[in-house]
Structure 1
Protein backbone atom coordinates (compact mmCIF):
# COMPACT_ATOMS: atom_id res chain seq x y z
CA UNK A 1 0.00 0.00 0.00
CA UNK A 2 2.82 2.40 0.82
CA UNK A 3 4.36 1.97 -2.61
CA UNK A 4 1.17 2.89 -4.50
CA UNK A 5 1.52 6.67 -4.14
CA UNK A 6 5.19 6.88 -5.25
CA UNK A 7 4.48 4.62 -8.24
CA UNK A 8 1.45 6.74 -9.12
CA UNK A 9 3.55 9.91 -8.90
CA UNK A 10 6.23 8.33 -11.11
CA UNK A 11 3.55 7.34 -13.61
CA UNK A 12 2.10 10.86 -13.74
CA UNK A 13 5.40 12.73 -13.93
CA UNK A 14 7.58 10.48 -16.16
CA UNK A 15 7.07 8.69 -19.46
CA UNK A 16 7.78 4.99 -19.78
CA UNK A 17 7.97 2.27 -17.19
CA UNK A 18 11.60 2.54 -16.12
CA UNK A 19 10.90 5.09 -13.37
CA UNK A 20 8.13 2.97 -11.88
CA UNK A 21 10.38 -0.09 -11.90
CA UNK A 22 13.16 1.89 -10.21
CA UNK A 23 10.73 3.10 -7.52
CA UNK A 24 9.56 -0.46 -6.88
CA UNK A 25 13.15 -1.75 -6.81
CA UNK A 26 14.23 1.00 -4.41
CA UNK A 27 11.32 0.23 -2.07
CA UNK A 28 12.11 -3.49 -2.16
CA UNK A 29 15.80 -2.93 -1.37
CA UNK A 30 15.08 -0.43 1.42
CA UNK A 31 12.45 -2.68 2.99
CA UNK A 32 14.73 -5.72 2.81
CA UNK A 33 17.61 -3.90 4.47
CA UNK A 34 15.37 -2.27 7.09
CA UNK A 35 13.55 -5.47 8.02
CA UNK A 36 16.65 -7.65 8.21
CA UNK A 37 19.34 -5.49 9.83
CA UNK A 38 18.28 -2.62 12.15
CA UNK A 39 14.80 -3.75 13.21
CA UNK A 40 15.81 -7.13 14.70
CA UNK A 41 18.78 -5.52 16.45
CA UNK A 42 16.70 -2.71 17.96
CA UNK A 43 13.88 -5.03 18.97
CA UNK A 44 16.28 -7.58 20.42
CA UNK A 45 18.14 -4.92 22.43
CA UNK A 46 14.92 -3.60 23.97
CA UNK A 47 13.43 -7.02 24.69
CA UNK A 48 16.87 -8.54 25.42
CA UNK A 49 16.45 -11.39 22.98
CA UNK A 50 19.20 -12.54 20.66
CA UNK A 51 18.86 -10.99 17.16
CA UNK A 52 19.08 -14.38 15.47
CA UNK A 53 16.35 -15.74 17.75
CA UNK A 54 14.12 -12.76 16.97
CA UNK A 55 14.55 -13.26 13.21
CA UNK A 56 13.83 -16.99 13.47
CA UNK A 57 10.78 -16.33 15.67
CA UNK A 58 9.38 -13.79 13.20
CA UNK A 59 9.84 -16.27 10.35
CA UNK A 60 8.18 -19.03 12.38
CA UNK A 61 5.35 -16.67 13.29
CA UNK A 62 4.85 -15.96 9.61
CA UNK A 63 4.83 -19.68 8.79
CA UNK A 64 2.32 -20.48 11.53
CA UNK A 65 -0.06 -17.51 11.54
CA UNK A 66 0.88 -15.29 8.59
CA UNK A 67 1.27 -11.53 8.99
CA UNK A 68 -0.46 -11.51 12.38
CA UNK A 69 2.03 -14.11 13.59
CA UNK A 70 4.91 -11.89 12.51
CA UNK A 71 3.59 -9.02 14.61
CA UNK A 72 2.76 -11.18 17.62
CA UNK A 73 5.86 -13.38 17.66
CA UNK A 74 8.24 -10.94 19.41
CA UNK A 75 5.78 -10.03 22.19
CA UNK A 76 5.03 -13.74 22.63
CA UNK A 77 8.74 -14.56 23.01
CA UNK A 78 9.18 -11.59 25.37
CA UNK A 79 6.41 -12.95 27.61
CA UNK A 80 8.01 -16.39 27.52
CA UNK A 81 11.37 -14.87 28.44
CA UNK A 82 9.84 -13.10 31.45
CA UNK A 83 8.22 -16.35 32.56
CA UNK A 84 11.48 -18.28 32.09
CA UNK A 85 13.40 -15.61 34.04
CA UNK A 86 11.09 -15.99 37.04
CA UNK A 87 11.03 -19.80 37.26
CA UNK A 88 14.28 -21.25 38.59
CA UNK A 89 14.16 -24.48 36.59
CA UNK A 90 13.64 -22.58 33.33
CA UNK A 91 16.29 -19.85 33.83
CA UNK A 92 18.86 -21.54 31.55
CA UNK A 93 16.36 -21.29 28.68
CA UNK A 94 15.92 -17.55 29.25
CA UNK A 95 19.50 -16.80 28.18
CA UNK A 96 18.50 -16.82 24.51
Structure 2
Protein backbone atom coordinates (compact mmCIF):
# COMPACT_ATOMS: atom_id res chain seq x y z
CA UNK A 1 0.00 0.00 0.00
CA UNK A 2 1.35 3.41 -0.97
CA UNK A 3 1.73 6.31 1.47
CA UNK A 4 -1.02 8.20 -0.38
CA UNK A 5 -3.41 5.30 0.23
CA UNK A 6 -2.63 5.26 3.95
CA UNK A 7 -3.07 9.02 4.22
CA UNK A 8 -6.33 8.79 2.26
CA UNK A 9 -7.67 6.10 4.59
CA UNK A 10 -6.70 8.20 7.60
CA UNK A 11 -8.59 11.16 6.14
CA UNK A 12 -11.61 9.03 5.33
CA UNK A 13 -11.59 7.59 8.85
CA UNK A 14 -11.55 11.07 10.40
CA UNK A 15 -14.47 12.25 8.28
CA UNK A 16 -16.51 9.14 9.03
CA UNK A 17 -15.74 9.35 12.76
CA UNK A 18 -16.78 13.02 12.80
CA UNK A 19 -20.05 12.09 11.15
CA UNK A 20 -20.55 9.26 13.66
CA UNK A 21 -19.65 11.60 16.53
CA UNK A 22 -22.26 14.13 15.45
CA UNK A 23 -25.09 11.81 14.55
CA UNK A 24 -24.86 8.65 16.61
CA UNK A 25 -23.47 10.14 19.80
CA UNK A 26 -25.73 13.21 19.46
CA UNK A 27 -22.87 15.60 20.13
CA UNK A 28 -23.10 19.26 19.12
CA UNK A 29 -21.33 20.32 15.95
CA UNK A 30 -18.53 22.28 17.58
CA UNK A 31 -14.88 22.95 17.01
CA UNK A 32 -13.80 19.30 17.37
CA UNK A 33 -16.28 18.09 14.74
CA UNK A 34 -15.23 20.75 12.24
CA UNK A 35 -11.50 20.28 12.88
CA UNK A 36 -11.82 16.53 12.31
CA UNK A 37 -13.58 17.27 9.02
CA UNK A 38 -10.92 19.77 7.94
CA UNK A 39 -8.03 17.48 8.82
CA UNK A 40 -9.74 14.49 7.22
CA UNK A 41 -10.45 16.45 4.05
CA UNK A 42 -6.91 17.80 3.87
CA UNK A 43 -5.46 14.30 4.21
CA UNK A 44 -7.86 12.89 1.65
CA UNK A 45 -7.25 15.78 -0.77
CA UNK A 46 -3.48 15.25 -0.47
CA UNK A 47 -3.88 11.57 -1.23
CA UNK A 48 -5.97 12.41 -4.28
CA UNK A 49 -3.13 14.45 -5.77
CA UNK A 50 -1.20 11.22 -6.43
CA UNK A 51 -3.90 9.87 -8.77
CA UNK A 52 -6.09 12.90 -9.29
CA UNK A 53 -9.82 12.45 -9.17
CA UNK A 54 -11.18 15.96 -9.73
CA UNK A 55 -14.69 15.23 -8.50
CA UNK A 56 -13.47 13.78 -5.19
CA UNK A 57 -10.80 16.49 -4.84
CA UNK A 58 -13.39 19.22 -5.40
CA UNK A 59 -15.65 17.65 -2.77
CA UNK A 60 -12.82 17.84 -0.24
CA UNK A 61 -12.26 21.54 -0.98
CA UNK A 62 -15.96 22.24 -0.48
CA UNK A 63 -15.94 20.15 2.72
CA UNK A 64 -13.04 22.25 4.05
CA UNK A 65 -14.83 25.51 3.24
CA UNK A 66 -18.03 24.36 4.94
CA UNK A 67 -16.09 23.23 8.02
CA UNK A 68 -14.27 26.58 8.21
CA UNK A 69 -17.67 28.29 8.10
CA UNK A 70 -18.81 25.97 10.91
CA UNK A 71 -15.81 26.95 13.06
CA UNK A 72 -16.48 30.63 12.36
CA UNK A 73 -20.11 30.22 13.49
CA UNK A 74 -19.11 28.43 16.70
CA UNK A 75 -16.55 31.11 17.55
CA UNK A 76 -18.99 33.90 16.70
CA UNK A 77 -21.72 32.38 18.87
CA UNK A 78 -19.26 32.10 21.78
CA UNK A 79 -18.31 35.75 21.35
CA UNK A 80 -21.96 36.82 21.16
CA UNK A 81 -22.75 34.84 24.32
CA UNK A 82 -20.02 36.68 26.24
CA UNK A 83 -21.16 40.17 25.21
CA UNK A 84 -23.69 41.87 27.49
CA UNK A 85 -27.12 42.51 26.02
Calculate the TM-score normalised by the size of structure 2: 0.39
Higher-Rg structure is 1
User: Which structure: greater helix fraction?
Assistant: 1
Instruction: State the TM-score, normalizing by the size of structure 1.
Output: 0.36
Q: Tell which has more relative contact order, 1 or 2 (C-alpha 8 A, sep 6+).
A: 2
